[in-house]
Amino acid sequence: MPHTPEPDARRAWISVLAKAPPAQLAGLMPDLAPHTCLRPPEIGTVMVQGRAGGTGARFNLGEMTVTRCSVQLACGTVGHACVQGRDKDHARRAALADAMLQTDAGPELEAGVLAPLRHAAAAARAARAAKAAGTRVEFFTMVRGEDQ
Amino acid sequence: MYVAVKGGERAIDAAHDWLAEERRGDLSVPELTIPQIREQMALAVNRVMAEGSLYDPDLAALAIKQARGDLIEAVFLIRAYRTTLPRFGASCPVDTAAMAVDRRVSATFKDLPGGQVLGPTFDYTHRLLDFALMAEGAPPSPIPSPQGGGEAHSGTRGATMAGQVPPSPLVGEGGGGGAPPDPVPHVTGLLDRDGLIEPAHPDEAAPRDLTREPLELPASRALRLQALARADEGFTLSLAYSTQRGYGRTHAFVGELRIGMVAVEVELPELGFAVEIGEIELTECETVNQFKGSRTEPPQFTRGYGLVMGQSERKAISMSLVDRALRWQELGEDFIGAPAQDEEFVLSHCDNIQATGFLEHIKLPHYVDFQAELELVRRLRREALAVREAAE
């Protein structure tokens, strides 16, 4: 039974699925539920844009490889994916998960796939941030007396 | 003049076979894998991605392997591959303020929100060969470094913002090691809040794209930044260095240099909203440069900007210096004829694939051109000799 998910929730899970390491996603979701491919996995690029000065006018920085895919479940629910890189299985799995998350299978997938992915991503981010924090410089300044 | 020359197929095949053999090298040495190159030659991979203008570490690693480590040849392979891919669209502009920083240093302010984060840097290494890395099977050893962390800054006081309008957050917020990641605002944004630097207002106009239309001069800053982002690192470095030595001096300070992961957001038409589709590593450099002020503007600093794919700070700093030098007209400065100020010179020569293509084509058969020159020289010599004989 398809639901209409909150756009923010869908936005968030599409992002989690896209950013997941393909092998990890495949490990959490080994079997693919029956589906038809509306758009078979297709490799292409997205032009990444930046802004002059970080905040100013947009400019084209360069492209990145992406793979996109759209699938449909038997109940008619459609799922989309656009993931970084050239892994077609990743794109198909992410699209399928997007579709299933909009159905009654959602909560199960949320707990079994999204939660572990979120957890792993947060852990990886925290580990990297901790390493960076370890290289943060702690200055101490000598008192020279000129302010007295 | 070019004439198709037939023959040589057998020689070409043999040359390519030999190339494959030489690429593999001594068979008693294990073959490199793509993950090995991606993980252990990461900065070479970054350079190939930046100059190939395609973010895909695996492909860049493959290109490096195929090119036997010739990075410009690898960039060529990436550029060629890129042209075979359909383009699905453009991303939303990346938000570098939200970068998960591995490294973030400022040469202008000692104490700043978010702190000075060194990251995995070659700075402060002694540049001594580490023979431990040569010992096979040994566990990886970090590059020897002098005592890290907690360096005393002997007596000097860096520029602080003391005396500025109180809400300026640059005052008195040194970072502490091991603290959870603080937000890391752009230094130039903080200067902008105090009106000390030219603003960089958002402009949503779709930028022109060098890969889709031929370069037309004068180019917009957006087009220049695209060209510089994929420009040859060596060429960009030399130009930037020339500005420091006086050929278009811009008095640059590195306001901020940051390296880290940035989310890429793309609006998917089938969804009708933007989603994050991945993360890429970027290096960003913002320079703070001098400006005299004018009748309408009070004196304020100006900006140079560098943004490069991967961890590539030499290139990012170079790019920001060259970007700033190219802005002379917009900022009402004098053109002193310096190469780095000359947009046509910079943009026409910064691309190493264009340059290589034209440079190396002269090694290919030019038999007919040369035959014509040879005939001409022979005739001129005959005539000159005839004149001399007649005179004697």
Instruction: Going from the first residue of chain B to its last (392 residues), give the mean pLDDT of each consecutive group of 10, the final group possibly shorter.
Output: 71 96 97 97 98 98 98 98 97 96 93 90 93 74 47 42 36 40 81 87 91 92 97 98 94 95 95 95 95 78 96 97 95 93 97 96 89 94 94 87
* B97–A42 C-beta distance less than 8 A: no
- State the Cα–Cα distance between residues B269 and B278, nearest whole angstrom: 17
Best mutation target among B275, B303, B327 (most A Cβ atoms within 10 Å) is B275
User: Can you tell me whether residue A57 is helix, strand or coil?
Assistant: strand
Exposed, middle or buried, B22 (CB in 10 Å: 0-12/13-18/19+)? exposed
Provide the residue type at B3 as one letter.
Answer: V
Burial status of residue B362 (CB atoms within 10 A of its CB: 0-12, 13-18, 19 or more): exposed
Per-residue burial over B190-220, b = 16 or more CB atoms within 10 Å of its CB, e = otherwise: bbbbeebbbebeeeeeebbbbbeeebeeebe
Which residue out of A10, A70, A136 would a mutagenesis test of the B interface target, given it has the greatest number of B Cβ atoms within 10 Å?
A136
Closest by CA position to B174, among listed B157, B193, B199, B192:
B157
CA gap A41, A89 in Å, rounded:
8
Residue tagged 């890290």 (tokens): B148
Both tokens of B56, joined, read 């895909």
Alpha-carbon gap, residue B60 to B34, rounded angstroms: 9
Q: B90, A130: Cβ pair inside 8 Å?
A: no
Q: Which two tokens stand for residue A142?
A: 């000598």
Q: In Å, how far are B71, B123, B143 from B43, measured between CA atoms?
A: 11, 15, 16
Distance of CA A24 to the CA centre of its chain: 13
| CA-based nearest distance B6→chain A, Å | 37
| pLDDT value of position B159 | 47
pLDDT band for position A145 (cuts 50, 70, 90): low
Residues of chain A contacting residue B303, judged by C-beta atoms under 8 Å apart:
53
Instruction: Report the residue from B87, B174, B225 with minimal CB separation from A59.
Output: B225
pLDDT for res B182: 63
| Token pair listed for B298 | 């009070």
CA gap A47, B206 in Å, rounded: 12
Question: What's the confidence (pLDDT) of residue B168?
Answer: 35
- CB–CB of B276 and A15 under 8 A? yes
CB contact under 8 A, B115 and A11: no
3 state DSSP class of A34: coil
The residue ranges of every structural domain in chain B are 9-82, 96-122+162-355, 365-392
Partner A, chain B 192-221, Cβ-Cβ below 8 Å: 200-207, 209-211, 221
What's the whole-number average pLDDT of chain A?
93
> What DSSP character marks residue B283?
E
Contact between B263 and B98 under an 8 Å Cβ cutoff? The reply is yes
pLDDT value of residue B365: 85
Average pLDDT rounded to a whole number, residues A128-143: 86
Residue A45 to residue B82, Cβ atoms within 8 A: yes
Chain A residues with beta carbon closer than 8 angstroms to that of B56: 64-65, 85-86
Task: For residue B359, give Cα distances in angstroms to A108, B235, B250, B389.
Answer: 61, 15, 32, 42
Q: Please tell me the predicted confidence (pLDDT) of residue B332.
A: 87
B334 vs B340: CA distance, rounded Å: 13
The CA distance from A31 to A93, in Å, is 9
Which residues from chain A sit within 8 angstroms of residue B181, using beta carbons? 129, 132-133
Q: At what angle do helices B71-82 and B352-361 cross, to 10 degrees?
A: 110
Give me the residue from A14, A58, A84 closest to B93, CB to CB: A58
Chain centroid offset of residue A51 CA: 22
β B273-289/A58-72 pair status: unpaired
Nearest to B203 among A57, A140, A141 (CB): A57
The predicted structure's pLDDT at residue A132: 94
| ipTM of this predicted structure | 0.93
Question: Does residue B271 sit at the A interface (CB-CB below 8 Å)?
Answer: yes
Nearest CA in chain B to A69: B270
Q: Which residue of B has its CA nearest to A47?
A: B90
Q: Dihedral, CA atoms, A35, A37, A43, A45, nearest 10 degrees?
A: -100
Contacts of B230 in chain A (CB under 8 A): 62
Size of interface A-B (CB pairs under 8 A): 262
3-state secondary structure labels for all residues of B103-133: EEECCCCCCCCCCCECCCCCCCCCCCCCHHH
Q: CA B159 to CA B2: how far, in whole Å?
A: 62
User: Which residues of B, range 80-99, sit inside 8 Å of A by Cβ?
Assistant: 82, 85-94, 96-97
pTM to 2 decimals?
0.88
Query: What length is written for chain A?
Result: 148
Name the pLDDT band for A140 (thresholds 50, 70, 90).
Answer: confident
What pLDDT, on the 0 to 100 scale, is given for residue B112? 85
Residues A66 and B253: their CA atoms lie apart, in Å, by 37
Alpha-carbon gap, residue B197 to B189, rounded angstroms = 9
* Residue B232: how many other CB atoms lie within 10 Å: 22
In the numeric block, the tokens 């973010």 are attached to B55
- Cβ-defined contact of B96 to A45 (cutoff 8 Å): no
